[in-house]
Structure 1
Amino acid sequence: MNAYVPAPAEPVEPDGLGRFARRWAEAIGGTSDGPVPHLTEFLERLTRELAAALRDDSAQARAEEVAAALVGADFHSPAAVRRTIEVFADGFLDEIRGEPGAEDEIKLRARLGQLLGGLSAGYAQALRVRTRTEQEAVQRAALRAVRLADDDRRVVEARFRAVFADAAVGIAMVDLGGRLLEVNTAFARMLGFVPEEIRGRTVGEIIGDSGHGPTSSRYLDLLSGGRDHFRTETTRVRPDGSRLVLDLSMSMVRDDDGAPGFLIGVTVDITERRRLQDQLWHESRHDALTGLPNRTLFAERLAERLAEPACGRLGLSFLDLDGFKDVNDSLGHAVGDQLLIAVARRLETAVAYGDRLVARLGGDEFVVLDDDCVGEAAVVGPAEAILAALREPFQVGGRELTISASIGVVDSRAVGADPQALMRAADITLYRAKAEGKSRLARYDPRDSARQITQHTLATALPAALTRQEFFCDYQPIVGLEDRRLRGVEALIRWRHPQLGIVAPNQFIPVAEETGHIAAVGRWVLAAACRQAGEWAAANPTLTCYISVNVAVGQLRRPGLVDDVMQVLTDGGMPPERLQLELTESAVLGDDRGPVGELQRLADAGVRLAIDDFGTGYANLAYLTRLPVRQVKLAGEFLKPLRTGSSVDPKHDRLLSAIITLAHDLGLSVTAEGVEHQAQADRLRALGCDAAQGWLFGRPGPAEQVGRLIARQNSQP
């Protein structure tokens, strides 16, 4: 009888997840024992729950619950399991990518692996429970039949004979000597016999492992009346050579005085389910793409090995592919997947021998565990072999691709027997290897600086910081040097970390670029700054100053910046000419392949563009003439010699004057950064500099501080 599946309260307009649920329903619709009402609606609810779980990192646990719900709805056949996993592996991420709040590709793929593992494990557990429940129900019915009163015995025996003969499970009556008195057709057929061939033979002869081995004492105790129930799982080979796995349950039937009478045995052929469970166990602990052990199996093996009393010296090499995200972004995820497969095979060839375990933890992260390392060379051996193996290009999809890896190497003797501490040390060391230039290995040092640990902490906490609203903006005024009137306000992002306190952007912006979160951080600060500018404009209708926002190099190089900017302006109802984007010159100068077209689109829409920290990078002045910028911002380094009011070096004074004059000749305004002293402001004004910002005019602070400045300015004639 099918489990009840409730109908939805109201129909849901089909979207990506709704369409996925329909494909899922089509895939498994014919695999249930009978028709399931409202199947699509039922699966759509499960689909949306799994989509939410994929985003909040609870995919594995929720997938196990979903698998149990499917088995409860009679979708317990091997076909239902296989098709469910295939559907999710092939198409689920395509729908998730289009959902609001979808995270980066590498994290989604890792969580999809956890989801598939959860489905596999959940199916296996639910199938075991279902088998046991069915078996015990048959056995209870048989026991009730033989224990009823004499006046009902003939009716009950007739019913029992019908159940005995027609039951799908095997049923046998066994005497106290262990010989089969009677068996039904199902029992004989699953063993490869007819009933007449096995009556009178012992249970041990027919089924095996019941009179010897680890279960013998419990079986003999049952025959002697010392216990009332015995259960085991046993394997035998049929006469035709095929392998059979049986779940055997035997119960004692006693007479009215409580003396042992005979046994009733119930057997279920679980060969297919055992094969499926083995397959599901394998799939839940192996990466679907590369076939390597996954994070779950690696964690189990690591914990088991560290827990052994005689555990020796373990070496752990944690590697991450350098620039893999660029491969995905430029060539597509299909090519990226092929490259990951090729890397996995090369790792197996290079380091997977002896007691070494190679696993893929998710995305482009792999780990090698080397058991019982002898000597320092053995600890770093796998990492050195990996670096050497990756030097050869890969042939992927008709292309020759070159990829390198950064590797963090940890010796268990330096960390201890805590698996989590060992992995954390490996993660920190890997981060240091990347920071030192990539394509190299780094050894774990217990004296690693607090800065490295802090950077690692920021990298792991950054994805959730946006949702927890830990970011905020300080604002610094930009004033005209002639009239000291407000020209603009620069928005400066800060991170209020719950453990580290206020974190400056120069600490976490490089981390955001490295981890691929710079686009989300950039969108947040842009929206926050424009929203605040809108509030100032609403309170001061005559205000004409612009809001200036920094654009990181990684943000500028990613597609979608123009669309993000225009969407924020549209949502906030803010005129484009009131927004200025500050770009570092290293990101836009000297590269004919740079994002000139994207910048031109922004300039054509009216957005102001400025070159930040001008004079500190690679300044190709000829290229500057082709950029649609309105302003250059002089780096604070130029202002240090001006603190006394006159330049200590005439050459420096002439250089500064030349830069300002050149900018004006190109139609650009000039803003000086880092102005702290009145002498600096006076000299800049004398040289023709247009505007300035710095502590002399106001330190970065909350929006209210700028609001008071605007109010004072409006009150002046």
Structure 2
Amino acid sequence: MSGTSEGQGPAGVAVPGSIRPSVTERHNFGRTASELRDYRAAFNAAQLAMAVVDHRGLVISANEALAALLGTRPTELRDRYAADLIDLASDARTWHAYREVLRGRRSRFRCTRRLKHPDGRALWAEVTVSPVPESGTVLLSVADISDRRELRARLRHLQMHDPVTRLPNRTLFFERLTAALESSPYDQGSTGRIGLCYLDLDGFKAVNDTLGHRVGDRLLAAVATRLAECADAGGPGHGGGHLVARLGGDEFAILVEDSTGTEQLADLARSVLAALQEPFDLAGQRLSVSASIGVVERAVSGTSATGLMQAADTTLYWAKEDGKSRWTLFDPERNAHRMTRQALSSMLRPAVERGEFTLEYQPLVGMADGVTRGVEALVRWNHPQFGTLTPNRFVAIAEEDGSIVQLGQWVLRTACRQARQWQLDHPDVPPLFVSVNVAVRQVWDSDLVADVAEILAETGLPAHLLQLELTESAVMGSAGRPLQALQALSDMGVHIAIDDFGTGYSNLAYLSRLPVSVLKLDGTFVRGFQDEAHANPADETIVQALVELAHRLGLTVTAECVETSGQASRLRRIGCDTGQGWLYSRAVGPDRIAEMLGAGPRPQAAAASG
């Protein structure tokens, strides 16, 4: 019973040398050894590839699964560095995390590695490294996740590709575009530029509507094939590389990374148009289609995915607006004009309420005596950002968005009030009539007859001192409500003038059925009347015929854009009644017209008083 020496029991368990273990101790000792044998058997038989690794990273033991995975025997893996076996040292981040686990500073580490199987195929493995408690070792496990990864890749492919055309879809396109824009322009081989052809098919909806969606889908698939062929033929080194995607409906995009300039994109767009112009044979259906393409090419630096797509979308719209079946290159100046147009459109209605519009007046002068008979009211927009804008900058926009009704009412009321004020301030001279331009939309979208009657009553201006000008194209096609409105205005005593006559329908026979009293000849005719040496005989013949016809119908004729005395002389000889242009006066403010009226009685007034 005496003595203190100790012995070593099975599996390295310390047993006191002078004390025999009790029955309970012998039972526990046997259970521990048994458990260790069970653990070792489970370790060796496990399907999961595993190895025990010491703090230096050397393999202490490895199971059959790991050996089979690496094409060797378990004993051959002992004392080898685990990091070398499963490629844990290939990148600094993974290597650092692995070392932290070995040193006991990190509880767990997991990564994915691509390994080479002994049969030559590549496999993907999920590697997990975690400490074994109170042992100073770590357990390394390697799970083959190739099937899982392949399934995930298959699902991602389905998620990222269009089922009809098999092309990358909108999601994958924007993922690739974003990555291209985030790449460094200084990478070796990079041009630092990017290009995009954004296209859709002209009239594709008609194919779906007439032949059905099945034929439409076949056509989209066939188009996709031709686009891919064009992209492959025009790729880097003519070896392909451009991404072709279906963005939705009949919209496609070809992304050109590291583009070499606009000429490369132009060549690609031309090849696409040529390829799509060839007929398609689809299960007995022979179809011909065309496409419109917006082309954008620019530096990667400073470009966002949103900005690039907005530019491409705008340019595609231009291609369609310009006639379809063509490609159009993005034009910064044209885009700036469009942006300005949008800005003007958004500010038109508030501008009327803020009083940003003013009127100027251009005299209408009798050709025979040089006497001012009336004035044309011309609206100006004193824009806080763009300065003074003439009607050609904003009237068409106002007609499109409907604000022309509100603006037109303001112009009509202001002009009539001003004409009445001149009449009151200068009672000794014959009153001037005022001519106001009216858009056809004012006739459709408002009660023009009621508006005119109300304004005349409000301002006190006699109806015969108001002249309304409508363009030839608007008047010549008048029927129904517009024609009734013109007739009612004429019956009221208001004069109706056709503006820019000779540039539209020129349906002369229709004049006799319209309540028109004045024709205003377009300035293009007058510009041909430069002088005798440079006269255009055809212009003079046409104008003379128009004047004679108008007079026979009881109409008066006003010549616009009279700039020289030679033009005035020839127009007077032909028989034009009044003239308007810079020869007489530019458009001026109402005070200047008042000064002209106050300078003295005009010839008619002098004759009447005599």
Normalised by the length of structure 1, the TM-score is: 0.45
Match of 2:590 in 1: 706
Contact 1:474 1:700 in 2 (8 A): no
Structure 2 gap segments, 5+ residues each: 1-38, 40-45, 53-61, 70-81, 89-93, 114-125, 140-150, 233-239, 424-432, 457-462, 606-610
1:464 aligns with 2:310: no
Give the structure with higher Rg (CA).
Answer: 2
Q: Paired residue for 2:10?
A: none
Which letter maps to 1:527? Q
Mapped contact 2:404–2:442 kept (Cα < 8 A): no
The 2-side partners of 1:535 and 1:642 are apart by 35
**Matching of residue 299 in structure 1 with residue 299 in structure 2:** no
Secondary structure at the residue paired with 1:612? strand
**CA contact 2:470–2:498 (8 Å) conserved in 1:** yes
Query: TM-score under structure 2 normalisation?
Result: 0.51
Q: Does 1:547 align with 2:446?
A: no
| Structure 1 pair 232–454 and aligned structure 2 pair: CA distance change class (3 A) | same
2:405, 2:553 → 1: CA distance? 28
What are the superposed Cα offsets for residues 232-252 of structure 1, whole Å, 9 maximum, x if unpaired? 799xxxxxxxxxxxx999999
Tell me, in whole angstroms, the C-alpha distance in 2 between the residues paired with 1:708 and 1:438: 50
Question: Could you tell me which residue of structure 2 aligns to residue 351 of structure 1?
Answer: 227
For residue 334 of structure 2, what is the amino acid of its counterpart?
Answer: Q
- The alpha-carbon distance between structure 1 residues 351 and 227, as it changes in their structure 2 partners (threshold 3 A), is same
Cα distance in 2 for partners of 1:711, 1:289 equals 74
Please give the alpha-carbon distance, in whole angstroms, between the structure 2 residues aligned to 1:605 and 1:280: 69
SS state at 1:545 partner: strand
State the 1:348 CA deviation: 1.4
Distance (Å, rounded) in 1 between the aligned partners of 2:414 and 2:393: 29
What's the offset of the Cα at 1:605? 6.8
Return the match for 1:440 from 326, 349, 366: 326
Aligned ranges for residues 355-504 of structure 1 at < 5 Å? 355=240, 356-359=242-245, 366-370=252-256, 382-391=268-277, 404-407=290-293, 417-418=300-301, 420=303, 438-441=324-327, 453-468=332-347, 475-477=359-361, 479-482=363-366, 484-491=372-379
Shift of residue 548 of structure 1? 0.6
Of 536, 542, 546, the match for 1:659: 546
Letter in 2 for 1:383: A
Q: Would you say 1:583 and 2:471 are equivalent positions?
A: yes
Distance 1:309 1:632, change over 3 A: farther
Q: Secondary structure at the match of 2:550?
A: helix
Question: 1:395 Cα deviation (Å)?
Answer: 12
> Structure 1 residues 525, 680: CA separation in 2 closer, same or farther (over 3 Å shift)?
farther
What is the CA–CA distance in structure 2 between the aligned matches of 1:400 and 1:628, rounded to whole Å?
A: 54
Deviations 1:307-359 (A, max 9, x none): 652237988453455977xx99xx89999x98997885454121125443234
Whether the 8 Å contact between 2:112 and 2:127 is mirrored in structure 1 is yes
Deviation at 1:283, TM superposition (A): 7.9
Q: For residues 243-270 of structure 1, what are the alpha-carbon distances to aligned partners after superposition, in whole Å with 9 as ceiling and x for unaligned?
A: xxxx999999999xxx99999xxxxxxx
- CA–CA distance in structure 1, aligned partners of residues 591 and 286 of structure 2: 57
CA distance in 2, matches of 1:685, 1:663: 15
Cα deviations across residues 111-169 of structure 1 (Å, max 9, x unaligned)?
xxxxxxxxxxxxxxxxxxxxxxxxxxxxxxxxxxxxxxxxxxxxxxxxxxxxxxxxxxx
> In the aligned structure 2, how far is the partner of 1:541 from the partner of 1:276?
82
CA distance in 1, matches of 2:360, 2:129: 82
Q: Distance in 2 between matches of 1:663 and 1:606?
A: 20
Equivalences for 1:281-292 in 2 at 5 Å? none
Alignment of 1:555-634 (within 5 A): 561=441, 565-566=445-446, 580=468, 582-583=470-471, 585=473, 596=479, 599-600=482-483, 603=486, 606=489, 610-616=497-503, 619-622=506-509, 631-634=518-521
Measured at CA, do residues 455 and 688 of structure 1 come closer, stay the same or move farther in structure 2, by a change above 3 Å? same
- Deviation of 1:457 after TM superposition, in Å, equals 1.9
Given that residues 562 and 581 in structure 2 are in contact (C-alpha distance below 8 angstroms), is that contact kept between their aligned partners in structure 1? yes
Deviation at 1:463, TM superposition (A): 1.9
Give the superposition deviation at 1:690: 4.6
Contact 2:265 2:295 in 1 (8 A): yes
What is the CA-CA distance between 1:387 and the residue it aligns to?
1.7
2:201, 2:510 → 1: CA distance?
Answer: 30
Per-residue CA deviation, residues 564-595 of structure 1 (Å, 9 max, x unaligned), is: 6417998999659978453354x886xxxx67
For the 8 Å contact 1:491–1:547, the answer to whether it is kept is: no
Between Structure 1 and Structure 2, the one with more strand by share is 2
Q: Which runs of 5+ in 1 are unaligned?
A: 1-178, 180-196, 235-246, 264-274, 445-451, 513-517, 552-560
CA distance in structure 1 between the aligned counterparts of 2:546 and 2:314, rounded to whole angstroms: 44
- Inter-partner Cα distance in structure 2 for 1:630 and 1:392: 56
Q: What is aligned with 2:561?
A: 674
Is residue 433–residue 442 contact of structure 1 (8 Å, CA) maintained in 2? yes
After superposition, what is the alpha-carbon deviation per residue over 1:276-302, rounded to whole angstroms, capped at 9, x for unaligned?
999999989999999864473463254
Distance 1:402 1:588 in 2: 40
Paired with 1:693 and 1:662, the residues of 2 have a C-alpha distance of 21
In the alignment, is the contact (CA less than 8 A) between 2:502 and 2:522 conserved in 1?
A: yes
Deviation at 1:674, TM superposition (A): 0.9
* Structure 1: distance between partners of 2:250 and 2:391: 27
Q: Secondary structure at the match of 1:466?
A: helix
Q: CA deviation at 1:672?
A: 1.9
Aligned-pair CA distance for 1:671: 2.7
